[in-house]
Amino acid sequence: MHARHAVTGAFGFSGRHIATRLLARGDEVLNLTNHPNRPDPFAGRVPVAPLAFADDKSLSGSLRGIDVLFNTYWFRVPSAGETHDDAVRNLGVLFAAARRAGVRRIVHISVANPDARSPYSYYRCKARAEEALAASGVGHAVLRPAVLFGDEPILVNTVAWLLRRVPLFAIPGDGGYPIQPVSVNDVADLALAAAALDENVAWDAAGPETMSFTQFIRAVRSAVSSRALVVHVPALLALLGARGLGLVTSTTLLTAEELDAMTAGLLASHEPPRGTTRFSEWLAASGTWLGRHRVPRVVHRY
């Protein structure tokens, strides 16, 4: 008997890869989303319901009969009056609705190095979201990726897009801080594996390669055959440059908090890697298309 699952943002990046795997094995998938007009990669095979945080009864109704809820909901940069605290509250509503609907299990995509005492709201609120999940009473699994790459590589594509177009690429500080990319395919595989368990688990979802940020930038530069000069500059100067480019591209390229978190080493895991796809090999195969399209304005992760 095939199961019925819900994926928040099933038409997005990580959610799409999770939904693809569920459909491939014959399960049904419901897309919970605040973006109903996003292009449908499944040609109508995945019905859509609103991610109605303001209507918990409607949300519970949508989740009735769902076996596993795969949650990718979050947003990278607060906007339109929303804060990361609002995202935590929204997730509390979602998790409570899942409990009332009888959902068996929740697989929640978090982030590497969440910390309720973090000075960074992204990481602090990610930890609070995990606490809300634990308090929901629903069996659950938490996956904690650092930097995703794949067919919509958000950070990697931003870097590649810039390296193809600017004559000078500024690395904040010494560039020695670590980054540990993980394939979205590995994360989706881990999500399905975690969904099949009975116990509550929290796993870092990290790739097998860790490199310095400078090595990361130079690897992308080589893959896209960029001639940009890579230089090291003070962090504040790099941030100001990113803000200037952001005004030109109508995109938030980098925030002060993201810069501080990156240089603090939060883009790498402290656990043995569970991902198996090597970033260097994927990069070598992706250089012809990587960064050719403009950096998207979308700041939501799903």
pLDDT at 114: 97
The number of folded domains in the chain is 2
Residues 62 and 111 in one domain: yes
pLDDT at 153: 76
Q: Is residue 49 part of a domain?
A: yes
Q: Is residue 80 part of a domain?
A: yes
Q: Is residue 297 part of a domain?
A: no
pLDDT at 37: 85
Coil, helix or strand at residue 139: strand
Q: Is residue 292 part of a domain?
A: no
Half-sphere exposure of 70 (CA within 13 A, CB side): 34
Domain boundary at 189, 205, 221, which? 205
Using only C-alpha atoms, the chain has a radius of gyration, in whole angstroms, of 19
pLDDT at 135 over 60: yes
Q: Which domain holds residue 198?
A: 4-148+180-205
pLDDT at 1: 62
Q: What confidence tier does 300 reach under pLDDT thresholds 50, 70, 90?
A: very low
Average pLDDT of the residues in 130-137: 97
* Site of tokens 């790459």: 149
Coil, helix or strand at residue 23: helix
Q: Is the dihedral of CA 48, 199, 76, 177 positive or negative?
A: negative
pLDDT at 217: 97
Q: Is residue 270 part of a domain?
A: no
pLDDT at 301: 38
Q: What confidence tier does 253 reach under pLDDT thresholds 50, 70, 90?
A: confident
pLDDT at 250 over 70: yes
Q: Is residue 96 part of a domain?
A: yes
Please calculate the CA angle 106-111-114 and round it to the nearest 5 degrees.
105
Average pLDDT of the residues in 175-181: 97
The domain spanning residue 223 has which CATH number? 3.90.25
Angle (deg, nearest 10), helices 256-263 and 235-249: 140
Average pLDDT of the residues in 253-266: 94
Residues 171 and 196 in one domain: no
For 20-68, write each residue's pLDDT tens digit. 999 999 999 999 998 888 899 999 999 999 999 999 899 999 999 999 9
pLDDT at 296: 55
Q: What confidence tier does 295 reach under pLDDT thresholds 50, 70, 90?
A: low
pLDDT at 185 over 90: yes
CA distances from 30 to 15, 115, 138, 184 (A): 11, 31, 19, 20
Residues 28 and 173 in one domain: no
For 198-230, write each residue's pLDDT tens digit. 999 999 999 999 999 999 999 999 999 999 999
Residues 25 and 61 in one domain: yes
More confident residue, 296 or 221: 221
pLDDT at 302 over 50: no
Average pLDDT of the residues in 118-127: 97
* Average pLDDT of the residues of the chain: 93
pLDDT at 298: 44
Q: Determine the Cα–Cα distance for residues 255 and 232; give it in Å rounded to an integer.
A: 18
